[in-house]
Structure 1
Amino acid sequence: MTESAQAATGGTLQDGGTRRPALSPSRASDFKQCPLLYRFRAVDRLPETPTKAQVRGTVVHSVLERLFGLPTAERDPTQARALLQPAWEELLAQQPELGELFDGPDDPELAGWLESANALLDAYFELEDPQRLEPQACELRVETELDSGVLLRGFIDRVDVAPTGEIRLVDYKTGAAPREIGEAKAMFQMKFYALVLWRTRGEIPRQLLLMYLASKQRLAYTPDETELRRFERTLEAIWQAILRAGKTGDFRPNPSRLCDYCDHKPLCPAFDGTPPPYPGWPEPDPGPESVLDRAD
């Protein structure tokens, strides 16, 4: 692979020309949930079929990012709805295989799916008024290296900075994951971003805000230094466990009710499946998180 091709994957080149491994919130969460799931996604790179809900989340994220690119006075529900079809068509052009989710552009299910995305956008306007906001960044790529050498990388939906300088990190949630599991995973993700931003800018975000569009609810949380230091140690421990598993190939399954949603269940030994032969530890770099990772 050429250097330019490696850069396109989001990998960080080491002196030897190999991609440097990094930890994203989604892959860290995968390993916490099930080490074998991490292996399937980050080492084997097995394909997964996105759900309609995931793709809808991707499109809604794209619309909200574009919305904040408009002049303040134009950020209204009508404009958001007008942005939906172009966002879907652009995603489809980038990933034509997503068209297989529907039976062509005249599929009645597609029209209903787009309207459900519009409903999520309408819900967003019930949670806040974008005309009163001027985010510092949307879809911000962040990366930092901890003192231990662990490289952290991810994307933040939105960064707001108050006139007083206080930082708020905002994340949109569009999926229908069980609340107790979904919120725990989402807060893990937000603490990850808070830690990266703290280590990058030297300032702890004043607030982490989760916006659940489907239920029209907001969940706000205020992190502190003690908590983020503890979370940093947690990430370092996760990465060391990943490295140990990588050297031996011992990525064990951790069965739970989430297994019913896993594309790789047929390959899981916990369900009498057989994983593919372990390819060895290639020092994988999962690359930047996709919006599909962050939509739910």
Structure 2
Amino acid sequence: MGTAGVESVGTPVSSPPDASAPPRRPALSPSRASDFKQCPLLYRFRVVDRLPEKPTKAQVRGTVVHAVLERLFGLPAAERVPDRAHALLEPAWREVRETRPELAELFARAEDVEAEVAEWLGSARGLLDAYFGLEDPRRLEPEACELLVETELDSGVLLRGYVDRLDVAPTGEIRVVDYKTGAAPREIGEAKALFQMKFYALVLWRTRGVVPRQLLLMYLADGQALAYRPEEGELRRFERTLEAIWGAILRAGRTGDFRPNPSRLCDWCDHKAFCPAFGGTPPEYPGWPDPGNAGTETVLDRAD
């Protein structure tokens, strides 16, 4: 989907930012806001220390599937069929691999690399088939896919993120669609996903003056969909939540006091060896990053 919230995580799949381009003002992204809410120290490791994280096969598969679905909607409506989506898979994977050759190392230890890659791509085809079981893309004409959305709140907090798909009805009603290549989550995962979707809803409301009618999460691993209808009062409260998160980030940034918040999610954290909650010692605090180093939320952040 930087200085206060949107630095890339691990090995980005997208191309690195153009160093000659003017620096973008630091902004809060849904992934980084969620990180801080989950665990301030995780936020520090990712944004300030920029500790490397090794992408998983599931993350990269999600990235490839997202790319295929984006390209699918670039085709004439009649061509948006499963066979055409399947045909887009290998080119999408090849492009990702060419952009980031190190991702090929995900399969380096396989006894038969070609067979394992083929099986992996086969699992991606299964996710695409599940997508077609949820809706018929031939009947849809999205306004945009992979849409950058950005707004500044009255308090000065800048919000920035990427929407997988934006559908706008002839009557002006808005639907925000997000593809998840994992299974429908339990309570914690569902709350995290809705946090992300409310973030997008807030930005769209502030930029377009219309509260999205529906937030739609499509879970492709098990072919389930979760639909949610936000209300204006709820988005106002969520706006205050983001302002509070931003304020807490700035206070922690000034002092270097990013505290761990142990939870069940720690089992999936790449940084336990540096976490005091598990007997580790964080790197020396390097100080708050240069605002000119603000990055963007990567596709890996959004590929779960």
Q: Hey, what's the Cα distance between the residues in 2 that align with 1:227 and 1:75?
A: 36
Tell me the amino acid that sits aligned with residue 300 of structure 2: L
2:216 counterpart of 1:209: yes
In the TM superposition, residue 110 of structure 1 has moved relative to its aligned partner by: 1.3
Q: Secondary structure at the match of 2:284?
A: coil
Q: Hey, what's the Cα distance between the residues in 1 that align with 2:210 and 2:152?
A: 16
Q: Secondary structure at the match of 2:19?
A: helix
Q: Hey, what's the Cα distance between the residues in 2 that align with 1:217 and 1:286?
A: 35
2:54 corresponds to: 49
1:17 corresponds to: none
TM-score of the aligned structures, taking structure 2 as reference length: 0.90
2:77 counterpart of 1:58: no
Q: Secondary structure at the match of 1:254?
A: coil
Tell me the amino acid that sits aligned with residue 132 of structure 1: R
1:140 corresponds to: 147
% same residue:
78
| Aligned match for 2:266, one of 259, 265, 286 | 259
Aligned pairs (5 A) from 1:86-235: 86-103=91-108, 106-176=113-183, 178-235=185-242
In the TM superposition, residue 178 of structure 1 has moved relative to its aligned partner by: 4.3
| Aligned match for 1:82, one of 84, 87, 101 | 87
2:38 counterpart of 1:24: no
| Aligned match for 1:287, one of 290, 295, 298 | 295
Do 2:29 and 2:160's aligned partners in 1 also have CA atoms closer than 8 Å? yes
Aligned alpha-carbon RMSD (Å): 1.6
TM-score of the aligned structures, taking structure 1 as reference length: 0.93
Q: Hey, what's the Cα distance between the residues in 2 that align with 1:292 and 1:175?
A: 13
Using a 3 Å threshold, how does the CA distance of structure 1 residues 277 and 6 change in structure 2: closer, same or farther?
A: farther
In the TM superposition, residue 92 of structure 1 has moved relative to its aligned partner by: 0.4
Tell me the amino acid that sits aligned with residue 274 of structure 1: T
In the TM superposition, residue 179 of structure 1 has moved relative to its aligned partner by: 2.2
Q: Hey, what's the Cα distance between the residues in 2 that align with 1:4 and 1:52?
A: 27
Do 1:29 and 1:185's aligned partners in 2 also have CA atoms closer than 8 Å? yes
Do 1:36 and 1:252's aligned partners in 2 also have CA atoms closer than 8 Å? yes
Structure 2, unaligned runs of 5 or more = 1-16
Do 2:183 and 2:222's aligned partners in 1 also have CA atoms closer than 8 Å? no
Structure 1, unaligned runs of 5 or more = 13-19
Do 1:21 and 1:283's aligned partners in 2 also have CA atoms closer than 8 Å? no
1:5 corresponds to: 19
Q: Hey, what's the Cα distance between the residues in 2 that align with 1:6 and 1:123?
A: 42
Q: Which has the higher contact order (CA 8 A, sep 6+)?
A: 2
Q: Deviations over 1:228-257 (max 9, x none)?
A: 000000000000000000011000001111
Query: For this pair of structures, how many residues does the alignment match?
Result: 285
In the TM superposition, residue 203 of structure 1 has moved relative to its aligned partner by: 1.0
